[in-house]
């Protein structure tokens, strides 16, 4: 923008200079062309060259800007294509991650189920062993009580040290 304003200012100054000095610009002069001499206004020729160069520079700037815009559009399309490709790759990674997490979760659930089943079988086994031990202890206690009842019925009294406490509860033997 600053360049365009500077170029416009230079063109205005040249135009103003030419307008103020128009009689000098139109005065014919003898000009040498190496092989011939010609009578022509030197100021108009130089002004024509400045206008020609200005137009040439303007066309060059416009073509440069147009090619830059076309290149920017091409790069933008390529960037958009790459962005879409990256989005698709990211989406596929999310799908992979989702399937991996799902598979890991299923494996974890299966492992937990196996552990639960193993724990239940161990508890069942321990419950059976505990029942067997309780039954065995109950039988032992019943046998001891039965033996004690038989002794009482036969009249066999316990040894004197057992009843020495006076409350009827026999002390433990050491």
Give me the phi and psi of 22, to 5 degrees please. -60, -40
Give me the chain's average pLDDT, please: 87
Domain boundary assignment for the chain: 2-111, 125-155
35-88: per-residue pLDDT in tens?
A: 889 999 988 888 899 889 989 988 998 999 999 999 999 999 999 999 999 999
* Residue 85: C-alpha distances to residues 73, 82, 91, 147 (Å): 18, 5, 10, 91
Beta-strand runs (E) in 33-173: 37-41
Q: C-alpha angle with apex 56: 52 to 58, nearest 5 degrees?
A: 115
Query: Directed axis angle between helix 42-154 and helix 2-20, to 10°?
Result: 170
> Per residue in 15-31, is it b (16+ CB within 10 Å) or e — as a string?
eeebeeeeeebeeeeee
Residue 34 has what DSSP assignment?
S
Q: What is the pTM of this model?
A: 0.47
């Amino acid at each position: 923008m600053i360049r365009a304003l500077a170029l416009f200012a230079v063109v205005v100054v040249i135009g103003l200079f030419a307008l103020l000095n128009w009689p000098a610009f139109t005065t014919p002069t003898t000009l040498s062309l190496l092989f011939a001499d010609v009578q022509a206004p030197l100021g108009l020729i130089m002004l024509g060259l400045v206008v020609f160069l200005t137009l040439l520079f303007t066309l060059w700037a416009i073509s440069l800007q147009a090619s830059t815009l076309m290149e920017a559009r091409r790069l933008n399309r390529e960037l958009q294509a790459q962005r879409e490709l990256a989005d698709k790759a990211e989406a596929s990674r999310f799908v992979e991650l989702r399937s991996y997490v799902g598979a890991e979760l299923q494996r974890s659930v299966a492992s937990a189920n196996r552990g639960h089943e193993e724990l239940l079988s161990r508890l069942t086994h321990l419950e059976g062993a505990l029942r067997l031990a309780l039954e065995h202890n109950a039988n032992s206690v019943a046998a001891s009580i039965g033996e004690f009842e038989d002794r009482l019925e036969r009249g066999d009294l316990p040894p004197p040290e057992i009843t020495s406490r006076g409350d009827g509860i026999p002390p433990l033997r050491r």
